[in-house]
A and B are shown apart, each in its own frame.
Chain A
Amino acid sequence: MKKILIADDEHKILMSLEYSFRKIGYEVFIARDGTEVLEFLKTLVPDVILLDIMMPNLDGYSTLEIIKQDRKLDHTKVIFLSAKNNPKDIEKGMEMGADAYVTKPYSIKKLISQIEELLNV
């Protein structure tokens, strides 16, 4: 079973993502900010992490930076999910080493197929 860790501070967004990924057979983990993500990663090696950028306490950028230093997460795909859709923001996210950058609002179907593609390659 594939494991997905979803981080966002908007409860309603988390809700729909959680429902959708569970439905297609993922094991879903929910974090409300960056620090919760790091807490999970102490024990968990997910296949995919969905990261919001603007989160309280520890934002998406800083979280990714820490993830990148963890050797055991080398095969984990990290995807930014953000309402920031400036080309500059997207470029920055990709440069930091994200595997994909998806802007809000997104189509859940497309998001899923993008993730599947990433995992199969």
Chain B
Amino acid sequence: MMSSFVLFVVVLIYLALLFLVAHLAEKKKSKIWINNPYIYALSLAVYCTAWTYYGSIGVAATSGLNYLPIYIGPIMVIPAWIYINTRIVRISRVNKISSLADFISLRYGNSRSFSAIITLVCIFAIVPYIGLQIKAISETFHLVTETPMSKNILTDNATFVVILIALFSSYYGTKYVDASEKRLGIISAIALESFLKLFFIIILGLFVIYFAFDGFSDIFQKASKFPDFKAKNTFNGIEGAMNWMILCMISGTAICILPRQFHTAIIENRQEKHIKTAIWFFPLYLLIFTFFIFPIAWGGRLIFEGQNVNPEFYSILIPQHFNNTLITVLVFLGGLSSSISMIIISAITLSIMVSNNLIIPYGLLGKFKAENEIQNTRNITNIRKFSIFGLVILAFGFYKYFILKTSLDSVGLISFVIIAQLAPAFFGALFWRRGSYKGAVVGLLAGLAICYFGLIIPQYYFSYNQEVKGALRGLYDAFDFFNIPYLTRIPEIFFWSILINTGLFTILSVSMKGNYRERNFAELYVDIDKYIQNHENAFIWRGTAYVSDIQNILERFLGKKKTEQAMRIFNIKYNIDSQTETADSRFIKFSENLLAGRIGTASAKILIEGVTKEDKISLKEVLNILEESKENITLNKKLTEKSEELKQLSDELSAANKNLIVKDRQKDDFLDSVAHELRTPITAIRSAGEILADDDDIPLDIKREFLNNIITESDRLSEIINDILYLDKLQHGEIALHIQQNNIIETYKKALNPILHLIQQKNIHISEVNLLNHYIFEYDEARMIQLFQNILGNALKFTDEQGTIQTKLSEKDNSLIIKIFNTGKNIPEEDLEMIFDKFYQSKNQNILKPTGSGLGLAISKRLVEAHSGNIKAENSGLGVTFTVTLPKKTRNNNEVEQ
């Protein structure tokens, strides 16, 4: 036994926890919350309301297996979400859809009236359902505290709980004026509640199975002694199966279309891949839930056999019976969670519909057009806040004055059947291009009429008004031939209403042409996968519109800054000049989208229509344009592929171009160096010539010296020119190698002999070290002689008098290794590689300028590379070593690129 006060405090603490979770999630926006598919999947469990917590147990105890279809229907349908919901999510995302009413009415020509009708249907279906949740909270509260129900609203604790819930929803549910925004705070709180309600029912289930009884089989055995046990736990033949099937259809439809399910599954979907997690996680959640219904229901019957208690409240009565206050309170909190999460989400979704699809389009658009952004935002938010309160109060009133005596199960099912009337229009929107506004509305109204006469009147009027009842009875008897003997009342009405609804929808759609706007959106909905990238292109609109007029409207709702930002993004996306004055169809659609989240799609259209002038366009034209645009999209895809290829090609070209530029600069540098190298001998020749020409009394020995200078410098000039040309030929592979078997020792001797006297002149000691086993190698002998002479000549230049040059021949890893060492000044470390560049000497100021073309080492490097070998220079303590490595088998490879 628990006092009212303590329980109320517990409830307050519990609600504070929810506030805290919502607050933290909203504030932190960390990746764990945003990217978590389980939060999304758990939030879908808003499906399990007090009906599941209490009602289903009542059904299981009194009418047997009929509690199951409510869960089996969804479990069967949910796998299809991977296809259906993925598409709905896409459609909703690109069109900024924020409610079920927007989703359906946009497809049927963005009709204001249709969206209003859908809103009213949802209110009539859902408000009593919310009332039921309030009823459950109130009744269980009194049950737990064992206090009598209070007639006075002000002393009823449920009243306060409901007000708190309304406050919570209106605060967190209207944080964003754009209703298509995700409400992270609310959804996180709902997910937590879903987790807790499952957790608590598992505790209760285990308590019943293992504490109250000796395991599951104990309950089963004992319960099977009830005379009605067998009948209640079998299908009851074809008749039961038919009812079952239809109930599965009802709940399977509801799981897709119930406004709160549409909201959590579509509007609050952050990533399409979360659907993948949801399609296994959510059915699993439902299965676990249903698993515990059976033992609780039959355990309850065993415990309370013969007592007059409401089986719907077994889950609270059982722990109470065993005086277990903790579990009693936990179950109460679980039920409370189920109820309030349903109330919160339903109230928010309904308030969005009431504001965006009813109040704003039918009353406030004119006012909004004149106000500024801040005022408009405040107005929109206020409308939603008051709608939430209004709806909760309406539901409260409904609970107090209509449904005190009704069971949870029946009101829930009636609500499902009414909502199911939206199914033909809803699924038609996804799959059928021909479905038209007229067909959808007429079908819906007919279906609703059947529901009203078949379900609402008997449910509410029969129980309250005896006089009306008599008159109605006669009327109903007249329609007796519609009775289907197999079906109970609710499946029967569902069958007829959906049959008539779908029939009228189909017949009218096929026999009457819809208008072009419907057809336009039909294409967009059915072919969403094609249009997902540039959906604005799929919108067909023709007429006169000015960007400035539309911008003016946008600023009234988005503010100046956001409008400019959005327009900039639009211009970039479609490559449009920001100075463009006239608006095209893409901009119209884009603007409607921007407004849609705030005031609904229908109002957005009306506002934009107000400042633009649309030309008439025939259905045939629309179809043609759509056909074209579809072709364009295919073409576009091909073009994108082509353009990717082109991009790759252009990347390659640009790389090649860069390479060419580098090469070109190298060539320029080279020419510069060549010119410079040529000028030096020319200067010497010219000076000598000038003196010889002008000076008649020049002494003979000096005259001879000048003449000699002219000769040697002329030789130097031709040497440079020859080397340049030779190097060029080597680089372009124009010099063929004659690779043959030769004796390396003999080749070396041939190279050394002509320059031996120069070496001896300088008093340099030259020696050879031969570590070879055999002397025959494959190479072009003439080139090899040139190579030896270049390296030896270079060594000669840089070796001081009395120095040493040593050549070492060896073999390693199938390569011939030639090392030529000379004593002399070291090469700066950073230049070791550059000495093989052309004209290295002249660029380097640290070495004395030697004679020669400055190309000897560059030519040597080319020669070695033409033999597939490599050459390098190393410093040692005493001097410099050049190492040439030649592979034994020389591939003719004289086309080595730089």
A59 to B847, alpha carbons, bound, how many Å?
A: 11
Q: Are B684 and A16 in contact (CB under 8 A)?
A: yes
Cβ of A106 within 8 Å of any chain B Cβ, yes or no, is: yes
A9 to B196, alpha carbons, bound, how many Å?
A: 94
How many of A's residues come within 8 Å of B, CB to CB?
Answer: 26
The residues of B that contact A16 with a CB separation of less than 8 Å are: 684, 687-688, 690-691, 706, 709
Cβ of A107 within 8 Å of any chain B Cβ, yes or no, is: yes
Q: Are A59 and B845 in contact (CB under 8 A)?
A: yes
Option from B687, B694, B702, B705 in Cβ contact (under 8 Å) with A13? B687
The residues of B that contact A109 with a CB separation of less than 8 Å are: 690, 694
Cβ of B826 within 8 Å of any chain A Cβ, yes or no, is: no
The residues of A that contact B695 with a CB separation of less than 8 Å are: 23
- List A1-48 residues whose CB lies under 8 Å from chain B: 9-10, 12-13, 15-17, 19-20, 23
Cβ of B848 within 8 Å of any chain A Cβ, yes or no, is: yes
Q: Are A19 and B691 in contact (CB under 8 A)?
A: yes
Q: Are B702 and A83 in contact (CB under 8 A)?
A: no
A14 to B849, alpha carbons, bound, how many Å?
A: 14
- List B653-704 residues whose CB lies under 8 Å from chain A: 672, 675-676, 679-680, 682-688, 690-691, 694-695, 702
The residues of B that contact A107 with a CB separation of less than 8 Å are: 686, 690
Q: Are B713 and A12 in contact (CB under 8 A)?
A: yes
The residues of B that contact A104 with a CB separation of less than 8 Å are: 679-680, 682-683
Q: Are A20 and B691 in contact (CB under 8 A)?
A: yes
Q: Are B848 and A83 in contact (CB under 8 A)?
A: no
- List A58-110 residues whose CB lies under 8 Å from chain B: 58-59, 83-86, 104-109
Q: Are B683 and A108 in contact (CB under 8 A)?
A: no
The residues of A that contact B712 with a CB separation of less than 8 Å are: 12
For A59, A107, A108, the residue with the greatest tally of chain B CB atoms inside 10 Å of its CB is: A108
A15 to B686, alpha carbons, bound, how many Å?
A: 12
Cβ of B846 within 8 Å of any chain A Cβ, yes or no, is: yes
Option from B679, B702, B849 in Cβ contact (under 8 Å) with A56? B849
The residues of A that contact B684 with a CB separation of less than 8 Å are: 10, 12-13, 16
A64 to B690, alpha carbons, bound, how many Å?
A: 29
The residues of B that contact A106 with a CB separation of less than 8 Å are: 683, 686
Cβ of B842 within 8 Å of any chain A Cβ, yes or no, is: yes
Cβ of A57 within 8 Å of any chain B Cβ, yes or no, is: yes
Q: Are A56 and B847 in contact (CB under 8 A)?
A: yes
Q: Are A9 and B683 in contact (CB under 8 A)?
A: no
A27 to B701, alpha carbons, bound, how many Å?
A: 22
A65 to B547, alpha carbons, bound, how many Å?
A: 67
Please report whether the interface of chain A is mostly helix, strand, loop or mixed according to DSSP.
loop
CB distance from B798 to the nearest CB of A (A): 13
A84 to B672, alpha carbons, bound, how many Å?
A: 9
The residues of A that contact B842 with a CB separation of less than 8 Å are: 54
The residues of A that contact B849 with a CB separation of less than 8 Å are: 9-10, 54, 56
CB distance from B656 to the nearest CB of A (A): 29
A89 to B842, alpha carbons, bound, how many Å?
A: 16
CB distance from A44 to the nearest CB of B (A): 24
Q: Are B676 and A84 in contact (CB under 8 A)?
A: yes
The residues of B that contact A15 with a CB separation of less than 8 Å are: 705-706, 709
Instruction: Give the size range of B's interface with the partner.
Output: 20 to 34
A59 to B683, alpha carbons, bound, how many Å?
A: 19
Please report whether the interface of chain B is mostly helix, strand, loop or mixed according to DSSP.
helix
Q: Are A19 and B679 in contact (CB under 8 A)?
A: no
CB distance from A102 to the nearest CB of B (A): 10
Interface string of B633-651 (1 = CB under 8 A from A): 0000000000000000000
The residues of A that contact B694 with a CB separation of less than 8 Å are: 109
Option from A13, A55, A85 in Cβ contact (under 8 Å) with B680? A13
Nearest chain-B residue to A59 (Cβ)?
B845
Nearest chain-A residue to B687 (Cβ)?
A16
Q: Are A105 and B686 in contact (CB under 8 A)?
A: yes
Q: Are B846 and A105 in contact (CB under 8 A)?
A: no
Option from A12, A23, A54, A57 in Cβ contact (under 8 Å) with B688? A12
For A17, A57, A83, the residue with the greatest tally of chain B CB atoms inside 10 Å of its CB is: A83
Q: Are A108 and B713 in contact (CB under 8 A)?
A: no
For B687, B688, B702, the residue with the greatest tally of chain A CB atoms inside 10 Å of its CB is: B687
Interface string of B694-738 (1 = CB under 8 A from A): 110000001001100100110000000000000000000000000
The residues of B that contact A23 with a CB separation of less than 8 Å are: 695
The residues of A that contact B688 with a CB separation of less than 8 Å are: 12, 16
Q: Are B691 and A56 in contact (CB under 8 A)?
A: no
CB distance from A5 to the nearest CB of B (A): 18
For B672, B680, B705, the residue with the greatest tally of chain A CB atoms inside 10 Å of its CB is: B680
Option from A55, A84, A105 in Cβ contact (under 8 Å) with B683? A105
The residues of A that contact B679 with a CB separation of less than 8 Å are: 83, 85, 104-105
Nearest chain-A residue to B676 (Cβ)?
A83
Option from A9, A17, A56, A84 in Cβ contact (under 8 Å) with B846? A56
A5 to B690, alpha carbons, bound, how many Å?
A: 21
The residues of A that contact B848 with a CB separation of less than 8 Å are: 9, 56
A23 to B848, alpha carbons, bound, how many Å?
A: 29
Nearest chain-A residue to B689 (Cβ)?
A16
Option from A20, A54, A86, A105 in Cβ contact (under 8 Å) with B845? A54
Q: Are B683 and A83 in contact (CB under 8 A)?
A: yes
A12 to B702, alpha carbons, bound, how many Å?
A: 12
Interface string of B184-212 (1 = CB under 8 A from A): 00000000000000000000000000000
The residues of B that contact A20 with a CB separation of less than 8 Å are: 687, 691
Q: Are B845 and A56 in contact (CB under 8 A)?
A: yes
CB distance from A90 to the nearest CB of B (A): 14
Nearest chain-B residue to A107 (Cβ)?
B690
A113 to B28, alpha carbons, bound, how many Å?
A: 86
A106 to B680, alpha carbons, bound, how many Å?
A: 11
Q: Are B691 and A13 in contact (CB under 8 A)?
A: no
A53 to B705, alpha carbons, bound, how many Å?
A: 26
CB distance from B695 to the nearest CB of A (A): 7
Q: Are A13 and B683 in contact (CB under 8 A)?
A: yes
The residues of A that contact B680 with a CB separation of less than 8 Å are: 10, 13, 83, 104
Q: Are B709 and A108 in contact (CB under 8 A)?
A: no
CB distance from B162 to the nearest CB of A (A): 87
Q: Are B683 and A57 in contact (CB under 8 A)?
A: no
The residues of B that contact A19 with a CB separation of less than 8 Å are: 691, 702
A13 to B679, alpha carbons, bound, how many Å?
A: 11
CB distance from B725 to the nearest CB of A (A): 21
Option from A12, A55, A56, A85 in Cβ contact (under 8 Å) with B709? A12
CB distance from B681 to the nearest CB of A (A): 8
CB distance from A84 to the nearest CB of B (A): 6
CB distance from B410 to the nearest CB of A (A): 97
CB distance from B782 to the nearest CB of A (A): 32
A20 to B507, alpha carbons, bound, how many Å?
A: 117
CB distance from B444 to the nearest CB of A (A): 85
The residues of B that contact A54 with a CB separation of less than 8 Å are: 842, 845, 849
A13 to B705, alpha carbons, bound, how many Å?
A: 12
A16 to B687, alpha carbons, bound, how many Å?
A: 6
For B679, B688, B842, B845, the residue with the greatest tally of chain A CB atoms inside 10 Å of its CB is: B845
A3 to B846, alpha carbons, bound, how many Å?
A: 29
A67 to B581, alpha carbons, bound, how many Å?
A: 70
The residues of A that contact B672 with a CB separation of less than 8 Å are: 86
For B676, B685, B712, B846, the residue with the greatest tally of chain A CB atoms inside 10 Å of its CB is: B676
Option from B675, B685, B690 in Cβ contact (under 8 Å) with A108? B690
Q: Could you list 27 A-B pairs, sorted by A, with CB under 8 Å?
A: A9-B848, A10-B680, A10-B683, A10-B684, A10-B849, A13-B687, A16-B687, A16-B688, A16-B691, A16-B706, A20-B687, A20-B691, A54-B842, A54-B845, A54-B849, A57-B845, A58-B845, A59-B845, A83-B676, A83-B679, A85-B675, A85-B679, A104-B679, A104-B683, A105-B686, A105-B687, A108-B687
Q: Which residues of B contact A (CB under 8 A)?
A: 672, 675-676, 679-680, 682-688, 690-691, 694-695, 702, 705-706, 709, 712-713, 842, 845-849
What 15 additional pairs, Cβ within 8 angstroms, besides A83-B679, A84-B676?
A12-B712, A13-B684, A16-B709, A17-B687, A20-B691, A54-B845, A56-B848, A58-B845, A83-B675, A86-B672, A104-B679, A104-B682, A105-B683, A106-B683, A108-B690
The list of the 5 closest CB pairs from A to B, nearest first, reads: A16-B687, A83-B679, A12-B684, A105-B683, A104-B683
